[in-house]
Structures are given as C-alpha cells and as structure tokens.
Amino acid sequence: MKIPKLVQAELALIFITVIWGSSFTIIAKGLAHVSPIFFVALRFWIAAAVVAVLMPGRYQKIQRKALLQGFILSVALMGGFVLQTLGLRDTTPSNSAFITSLCIPLVPIFAFLIYRQKSSYHTVLSIVLAAIGMMLLLGDSSDFSLHSGDFLTLLCAFLFAFHILFLGVFVQETDYRLLIFVKMVCGAILCSIMAFVFETPDVVWNDSFIFYILVLGILATAGAYWIQGWAQQYSNPTHTALIFSLEPVFATIFAFCILDQGWTLKEWAGGVLILVGILISEIRRTGKPYAFQKSRIRAG
C-alpha cells in the first residue's frame, strides 16, 4: 500500500517535533559549556557542512532567487533564535515558552494578510484549541508578569511564524535543498556576527560538549530543517504550525521519562486539547498535496 505524499509529509513533521522536543535537555546541558548565541552559530555551521555533504555539487548551481529566499529564511530563523535568547535574560522560561508558542496562531493570520489565504472553520477551531492547549501546557499563571524581555520574545514569535509561512511559499518555487543550504550558511554567518555584537563568545571544549553540539547540529538542525523543507512542499504552513504545537507535548513527555518530572492536571488538559485540535484538522483533510501558494503567487 502506497502512503500518500501528504501523509508522509505530516508524519515527517511529527517526527521533527519529537526531535526538537527531546533536544531541550541537550540544549540545557550544552549551554553550561558555551555562550548562548555562539552556541547557535556552532549548531548552524555544523548543519551547513552536513547539508553540503548531502547535496554534492548542487549548491554550485544556486541562482539569485534561491540566494534571496534562503537569506530571508535565515534572517527570520536566526532573528527568532537570537531574540528568544536575549529575551530570556529578562523574562521567565515559562513566559518565554508561552509567548514563543504564539507563532502557531500567527501563521494563519499572516497567511491571510500577506497572501489572502483564508483558513476553513475547522482549521480555525483546530488552531484555537491548540492555542488554548499551549496556554495550559506552557503558561504559569503563578509566575506570569510582564518583563522587557517579553517584547523581544514576542518579536521572536513573529519571526518564527514568518519562517514557517515563507518556507511553505518558497518551496513551491525553489528546490528545498538549495533553500536549506543557503539558510544554514547565511544563518551561521549572521549568528556568528551577532555573537560578537551581543555577547563575548566563550566555549569550553570537552567530550560532553562535542557530543551535544554534534547531536544538535546534525540531527536537530540539519536533519530537522531538511525534513521540514521537503515536507512543506505538501503540507500548508498553517497545518505545519499546528503540527509543531506537539513540540512542547513531546518535550514534557521526555521530561517525564528522563527527568522524572510529573504532569499536572493542567498540563494533561493542555496536551489533550492540542491533540484534539490536530485530530479535528486531520479529519477534514482532503489527502491532496498542498499547492495553493504556487498558483496564487503566479496569478498575482
């Protein structure tokens, strides 16, 4: 039995959320050895090298359009990472996680404002349920107060939403492998520059840190974004964002399994709402690969 491309793509996106959800512990351990923005730069330098190996010779054929689109994606992604890191200097982790999760409902809003793409009623309902679920899973009302870092984190959520949306548009026009390579290289360069602007780069090299950075660079960065680029050829940006709401669910599951952190009733309710939202969205799917933006852009 042949699995439809749309189903393959969405299973791949779910797999990415498992990877990212499991990487929080590794990131936390890695940050004990390196300054944060320089840590991100190292991740993307390794990822750029891996992607170059995966597409021998193809990156030599990169045209101006791929360079421009890849650069836009790198600005959105790296800007989001850096703003999130800087925001954490003056906000709580729970505030940061909750505000960053706002990128999920922002994707369909930006899709409508920029491309006039309307979401169906069941998609809107799915997004609302997932957003409420994220609020319950990530929000900590006992410790929620506004800090100056919250504004930086909100900008981070905007940029992450733009990254998901624009990637879904660009892969309809350009080979996703070229986009990923340019994004990795430009991201590594931009983040290296920002590391020297916003911090004093510092790293303690040892076997543990080398293991952490290789896992993050190869699996959680090169592998995950390569898969995302392929998958978003078939799954629309709004549904991609909805699937990505599973990331904190898997992060909490891994925290329970590895760190023995229990779930509260509120967290259980949040996780269930996210799953219900995704299931509602899946029930009404047509099974056809995504092609809206391609025709809309050419017509516009």
How long, in residues, is the chain?
300
Q: pLDDT category, 29, cuts 50, 70, 90?
A: confident
Mean pLDDT of 122-136: 74
Q: pLDDT category, 129, cuts 50, 70, 90?
A: confident
pLDDT of residue 207: 92
C-alpha 288: how far from chain center = 24
DSSP, res 286: -
pLDDT for 293 beyond 60: no
End-to-end CA distance of the chain: 39
Higher model confidence: residue 183 or residue 29?
Answer: 183
Q: pLDDT category, 94, cuts 50, 70, 90?
A: low
Percent of the chain with pLDDT strictly greater than 70: 77
Q: Name which of 199, 223, 177 is nearest 35 in CA terms.
A: 199
Phi, psi of 33 (to 5 degrees): -115, -5
CB 239 within 8 A of CB 281: yes
Higher model confidence: residue 139 or residue 287?
Answer: 139
Q: pLDDT category, 6, cuts 50, 70, 90?
A: confident
pLDDT for 101 beyond 90: no
Mean pLDDT of 13-21: 86
Mean pLDDT of 82-106: 73
The predicted-structure confidence for 222-253, as pLDDT tens digits, reads as follows: 999 999 999 999 888 888 888 887 777 776 67
Q: pLDDT category, 147, cuts 50, 70, 90?
A: low
With tokens 């599951």, the residue in question is 253
pTM over 0.85: no
Higher model confidence: residue 292 or residue 204?
Answer: 204
Q: How many CA within 13 A on the CB side of residue 136? A: 19
With tokens 């793509």, the residue in question is 9
The predicted-structure confidence for 260-284, as pLDDT tens digits, reads as follows: 555 677 767 777 777 777 677 666 5
pLDDT for 170 beyond 90: yes
